[in-house]
């Protein structure tokens, strides 16, 4: 079985992103895809006090893209799109699925994207459009609604008595031609499992 960790739209809540990345690492994800929007959130999430060994392990398996509002994308320092291999099948990563071209859709088996209000696994013929949904909402970190304020002595520690964070992240599991998207709440609790079956003989068959 192949496991791919998916997270998107942390909206500046780096500590919440750190929790999601750590959970995906512990779940045995072979690769981790951060689907934007803010490129720098991943760097902030893996900075101290995040354990250095775990951060190095995650960085080695992390692929990421930047959304249109990311300064790194505007300056050309971060990509809007990335191509990965998932078990022998071609995958295309973007933040906004509107950035996908006809060639992207024609050539890739998996099309991973962010900028979605809810997790989804949509099969169209031999192709799969996959999103983990939003980890946080815009401005959540600044408002404190994402549980973590921007400045604390331990920025990775939750506020005692604060409401649980809203949002989702996901783990894509591939076993033969079976495709499952296991969705977790931002509090780490497993929720929905979305499933699809690959078309016989299609590229999705994992070697």
Confidence of residue 165 (pLDDT cuts 50, 70, 90): low
What mean pLDDT, rounded, does the chain reach? Answer: 86
Position 140 scores a pLDDT of 57
Beta strands in 66-108 (DSSP E): 81-86, 89-94
pLDDT tens digits along 104-134? 999 999 999 999 999 999 999 999 999 999 9
DSSP 23-51: HHHHTT-SEEEE--S-THHHHHHTSTTS-
Q: In the predicted model, is pLDDT for residue 143 greater than 70? A: no
Confidence of residue 2 (pLDDT cuts 50, 70, 90): very high
Kindly list the distances between the CA atom of residue 44 and the CA atoms of 41, 51, 91, 123, 175, in Å, as whole numbers in the listed order: 5, 13, 26, 34, 33
Position 159 scores a pLDDT of 40
Would you kindly state where each structural domain of the chain is located, as residue ranges?
2-197
Kindly list the distances between the CA atom of residue 57 and the CA atoms of 6, 30, 200, in Å, as whole numbers in the listed order: 16, 10, 35
What is the average pLDDT across 70-94? 96
CATH of domain 2-197: 3.60.21.10
pTM of the complete model: 0.85
């Amino acid at each position: 079985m192949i496991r791919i960790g998916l997270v998107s739209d942390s909206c500046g809540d780096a500590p919440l992103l750190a929790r999601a990345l750590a959970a995906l690492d512990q779940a045995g994800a072979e690769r981790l895809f951060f689907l934007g929007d803010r490129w720098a959130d991943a760097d902030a999430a893996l900075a101290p006090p995040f354990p250095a060994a775990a951060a190095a392990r995650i960085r080695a398996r992390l692929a990421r893209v930047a959304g249109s509002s990311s300064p790194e994308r505007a300056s050309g320092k971060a990509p809007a799109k990335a191509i990965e291999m998932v078990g022998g099948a071609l995958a295309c990563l973007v933040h906004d699925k509107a950035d996908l071209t006809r060639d992207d859709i024609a050539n890739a088996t998996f099309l991973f994207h962010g900028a979605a209000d809810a997790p989804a696994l949509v099969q169209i013929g031999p192709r799969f459009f996959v999103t983990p949904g939003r980890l946080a909402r815009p401005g959540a970190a600044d408002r404190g609604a994402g549980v973590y304020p921007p400045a604390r002595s331990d920025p990775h520690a939750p506020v005692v008595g604060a409401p649980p964070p809203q949002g989702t992240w996901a783990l894509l599991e591939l076993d033969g031609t079976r495709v499952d998207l296991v969705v977790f709440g931002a509090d780490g609790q497993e929720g929905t499992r979305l499933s699809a079956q690959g078309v016989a003989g299609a590229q999705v068959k994992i070697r």
